[in-house]
Structure 1
């Protein structure tokens, strides 16, 4: 009985110490950007601060509609958060007369 408990505890402990799945898709930002541009034709479409330690960037291709969301850290490492298709890049609607923003 103790063998089963010990084996279960070891397996559970090893599973808990593994990195999260998205951490395996991290690399230097420059390398990821080059890969997105050459392999997928994606260029920077939008960016914004998530916190003081992370910048969220969206790279998209107007031709294919593919997109990739990166989280970039100050140390120059970026991680792929999400990818997908059918991204629409549309210009902002024109402002109405007398109304700003």
Structure 2
């Protein structure tokens, strides 16, 4: 059994915890500090991301998107994206579809 709300916020960066990996789906819980890496992601899989707590600003194909608690976005495979800013303690779920 996994409790989504049992976590510690990192002082810097993000923590990635794989909650489930089964067949063509992977579910990852991400806990973000307010000092995130500005890494560009170009992934082979499709990804659906939902903010469970907090808020974040993503850059997808050079367009900024703000996500607040409860909001989600689909990011297709090979689409360049990065996390620009997060509120300290932001919790996300990222569902990767292979």
- Normalized against structure 1, the TM-score is what? 0.28
Structure that is richer in strand per residue: 2
The structure number with the bigger radius of gyration is 1
Structure that is richer in helix per residue: 1
Higher relative contact order by CA 8 Å / sep ≥ 6: 1 or 2?
2
